[in-house]
Amino acid sequence: MIKMLMDLPTHLHAAGILVGTSKSDSTQDLKSVLVSRLSQCSSVLGRPEFDSPRRELEDVQLQTAKDALYLLDAIQKDISSPSSTEPLAVGTRDLANIRTLLSIVFKWGVDPILGRVIMSWPSRPSVRLPAQSKIIDLTNGPEDFQGLCNLTRQLLLLALPAGHTGPLSQTFIANALLVRHITDILKPCIALGWLPKALSTDLMPTQNHLRDYVMRLLL
């Protein structure tokens, strides 16, 4: 428990770096800015430096979204400690950074992957294609599909850390997610949870369990 509390300043510091406040950022292209932030963030967190060679801007943006979600989860666990109090532990600037992290997760993570996954599905779900044809047409579909499932699951756990049968989290992070991004989180949940049988495959199966989360969030 003590270790978690000691980690909170580090996680908040890393969040500030990832969000970015440096005036020098305006003199660099977006990819260079994000690579620099990712590298600094990794250094603060004691992780291997971000590997950027030959990566496209979209890859760097996605990694930024993943790191943003990692930090949101870490901060939530820190402030959820029984011996900590959120208003005293997190300042006004930190709260603003947290809201920005949530926006990054959707803008550079969930939304673009969801778009690619939807594009990989046949335009006519009523027409059942041979399994082999599906795999060929999907290209990177299964990888994107799994990535979308992972991001969606992690976001849902911010709101419902004990699962769909448990209570809603009362942290600022969970509140910001549900108030500001309820539509954003419902979109992948519905796309994945209500995927028609004609589009479901072994590599991209319908995520039926997400229906329980949707019903819980809509109560």
Residues 6+ apart with CB under 8 A from 14: 41, 44, 45, 71
**75: which 2 tokens?**
């901060």
Q: What is the pTM of this model?
A: 0.85
Summarised one tens digit per residue, pLDDT across range 101-136 is 999 999 999 999 999 999 988 764 444 444 443 343
Domain positions in the chain: 2-218
Summarised one tens digit per residue, pLDDT across range 179-196 is 999 999 999 999 999 999
